[in-house]
Amino acid sequence: MTNLNRRTFLSVAALATATATLAACGNNGTPGSGAAAGDYAAPPKDISAELTYAIWGAAQKPFLQESIDEFNKEYPNIKISIDVTPSKGGAYWTKIQTLASSNTLPDVFWMNGPKIKLYAQNDQLLPLDGIVAAKAVDLANYPQGLVDLYTVDGKVYGIPKDYDSSAIFYSKSLVAAAGVPEPTADWTWEDLKKHSVELSKFYEGKGIHGVTADLTGGQTSYYNTILGAGGVVITKDGKKSGYDSPEAIEGVQFWRDLIEAGASPSMQQITETYSADLFRSGKAAITMEASYEAGATFEAMGDDVKVVPLPKGPVSNQSVIHGLANVIPANSKNPDAARAFVAFLAGKKAAELQSASGQVISAFKGTQQAWVDALPGMGAQAFLDAAESASPYPASKNSGAWGKYEQDLLPPAFAGTKPVADSAKELATKMNEALAQEA
């Protein structure tokens, strides 16, 4: 009998645990009352809360910890712990999405451009307009393109933390040895094509190319040239693909032309060796790259690397701007403490700590000089100038659905195994289908 009792006890205990787990999964946390109304007033200084701040950049943890220490001078009873999950291999987003499904999102976490609409339009995020209305954050302090990226259906869901924009990098010595003029801020697409062909000719047989860029993704390459030709990847309302427009096709064709002319390594070479690595190891004289590679490139090449703005296309030399934002989940248990922390991170003090680290460009205007100074003589100011006129990173509610089509359908266009116009139109068709699914 005692055995039986014990078994009953065990199974009941197990069942109870399982039920509790299931119940936790199904529990739809109710949003904080103050947050639901959207109003915000700085909470009293003695408010106490425990917050988790989820990020994916381990290298940024030290200066974020400094920010937390500063924040705690103001709010000593808000305890914040940083939770780092690497983004490599999708670990961070897999985790965040799982946490979102079970309503256990961290109190404050990093958001990126391709995902913001997915989370905002599925009601996973707390609108932060209250902080703006209360003048705790002034959106004029951040590049407009970045603010637009995190404004969904007229509401602000994320306060920009940092950003990256693109520019031309070139090797002074490789360009000079070939007797080719150094790139300048006034270069057009034609200048770039002409001179990179010259460079490739000069270095023929040495495995050195005139120009390269990462064509396995669009941020530093075709997204910018599509803008340069006057096209868009996705319409402003995020509902239609822009790939079938003549302008977008011209922007994609630009890269096919460079490859065909031998100015650029082939699509296969760029797939097998990251373009920034090709450039840093002296296998390409010029590259278009984002500011996030500036530090590593400067470290590898020192005085030899210079940066100038992107070349002018038929319409502009616009760059896309991408950057992270801090967001708060819709069902936050501590909306006031979390918003106070986000407001602090959005402020000048936190931005200065960030810039001084040399890791990333702070989104807060006027605090970026420290980052530029960390790369002396490189001309890194070009990235800040590019950010002023930049266009938001193309995104929709479910960017991943059509991002996959870009990755599948554009390589044959760059490689020349399929005409660019055909690839672009097929991409537009599939992308529109995916976008129609989002509604």
Partner 1 sequence: MSRVLTAPPKAAVPPRDPSEKAVRRRSIKRDGIWPWVFIGPTVFGMGLFYVWPVLQTFYYSFTKWGVFGGSKFIGIENYVRLLSDSEIPQSLLNTALYTAIVLLGIPIAMVLSALMETPGMKLAGFYRTLYFIPYITMPAAVGIVWRLIFNGDFGPINWFLSLFGIQGPYWTSTPGFALVAVALVGLWMSMGFNLIIMGAGMREIPREMYEAAEMDGASRLRQFFSITVPLLTPSIFFVSVLTVIGGFQLFDLLYIMMGKSNLAMPQTQSLVYIFYNQAFLQNDKGYAAAIGILILAVIAILTFIQFRVQKRWVNYV
Contact (Cβ atoms closer than 8 angstroms) between residue 298 and residue 307: no
Q: Return the residue of 108, 147, 215, 338 that touches partner 1, per CB under 8 A.
A: 215
Rounded Cα gap, residues 271 and 280, in angstroms: 16
Query: Which region, left, alpha or beta, applies to residue 188 given φ > 0 means left and ψ of -120 to 50 means alpha?
Result: beta
Work out whether 39 is an interface residue with partner 1 (CB under 8 A): no
* Residue span 178-207 as binding mask against partner 1, x where in contact by CB under 8 A, dash where not: -----------------------------x
Q: Return the residue of 14, 16, 24, 59 that touches partner 1, per CB under 8 A.
A: 14
Work out whether 217 is an interface residue with partner 1 (CB under 8 A): yes
Whole-angstrom CA distances from 224 to 165, 313, 393 are 10, 9, 10
How far apart are CB 401 and partner 1 at their closest, in Å? 4
36 residue type, one letter:
A
169: closest CA among 272, 280, 268, 315? 280
Tracing tokens 């209360």 back to the chain, one arrives at: 134
Work out whether 77 is an interface residue with partner 1 (CB under 8 A): no
Structure-block tokens of residue 261: 């002319």
Work out whether 417 is an interface residue with partner 1 (CB under 8 A): yes
Work out whether 107 is an interface residue with partner 1 (CB under 8 A): no
Contacts with partner 1 by CB under 8 A: the residue count is: 44
Rounded Cα gap, residues 388 and 381, in angstroms: 11
Residues 351-390 touching partner 1, rule: CB under 8 A, are none
Q: Is the CB of 45 or the CB of 404 nearer to partner 1?
A: 404
Work out whether 398 is an interface residue with partner 1 (CB under 8 A): yes
Q: Is the CB of 19 or the CB of 417 nearer to partner 1?
A: 417
Whole-angstrom CA distances from 73 to 49, 66, 269 are 15, 11, 52
How far apart are CB 372 and partner 1 at their closest, in Å? 31
| Residues, the chain | 439
Work out whether 429 is an interface residue with partner 1 (CB under 8 A): no
Name the CA dihedral angle for 183, 189, 194, 198, rounded to a multiple of 10 degrees.
Answer: 50
Whole-angstrom CA distances from 336 to 126, 147, 275, 349, 365 are 11, 22, 44, 20, 26
Q: Return the residue of 401, 425, 429, 432 that touches partner 1, per CB under 8 A.
A: 401
Contact (Cβ atoms closer than 8 angstroms) between residue 175 and residue 182: yes
Rounded Cα gap, residues 242 and 239, in angstroms: 10
Residues 221-280 touching partner 1, rule: CB under 8 A, are 266-269, 271-273
How far apart are CB 104 and partner 1 at their closest, in Å? 12
Q: Return the residue of 48, 407, 422, 436 that touches partner 1, per CB under 8 A.
A: 407
Q: Applying CB under 8 A, which residues contact partner 1?
A: 3-4, 6-7, 10, 14, 18, 89-90, 93-94, 97, 100-102, 118, 122, 124, 207, 215-217, 266-269, 271-273, 283, 398, 400-401, 403-404, 406-408, 410-412, 415, 417, 434
